[in-house]
Structure 1
């Protein structure tokens, strides 16, 4: 029964979008809840990564016009960057 409820909670989560464009993440700070999905969409002309500084997640290279998604499972504050362009930084807050 708990497994079914966990699946239901995840399915009921909200999807958020972060746009990668002009060498930045927009929005740079995003607050979500456990079970929510975050989709990073690369609208730049070159690849980027979404890499958690704590190693919590890593998209590897996201090609132009491609996306990568992550389901937030644990609460916390997750700072991330693009490992190809280290001045690009963002924060994901999971409540």
Structure 2
């Protein structure tokens, strides 16, 4: 029975996309549920990172036309920034 509950839980997980473009994270604030996948897609002409503070996740460099994804595990609010361009900021909220 536990196996079927896990399968249902995984099937209910969603994928959300944050687009990196024009030196911004769009949307700048995203609310998801534990177990959801968040994908950052870089549409700028230069690399960026998505690095939470404190470090719950760190994409390292995401090259232009590339993406990086993270599966949320812990409930909380996670401010993040691009370490290469510190004025670029966002917040991931996990419920």
Q: Taking structure 2 as the reference length, what is the TM-score of the superposition? A: 0.92
Cα deviation, residue 3, structure 1: 6.2
Aligned positions of 1:41-80 closer than 5 A? 41-80=41-80
Residues 60 and 3 of structure 1: CA distance in aligned 2, closer, same or farther (over 3 Å): farther
C-alpha RMSD of matched pairs (Å)? 1.4
* Equivalent residues in 2 for 1:1-95, closer than 5 Å: 2=2, 5-6=5-6, 8-95=8-95
By how many angstroms is 1:6 displaced?
Answer: 3.7
Moved runs in structure 1, 4+ residues, more than 4 A?
1-4
**C-alpha distance in structure 2 between counterparts of 1:17 and 1:27, whole Å:** 9
Deviations 1:12-71 (A, max 9, x none): 201100000000000000000011110000000000000011100000000000000001
How many residue pairs get aligned? The number is: 95
**Alignment TM-score, normalising by the size of structure 1:** 0.92
Q: Structure 1 unaligned runs (5+)?
A: none
Q: Which runs of 5+ in 2 are unaligned?
A: none
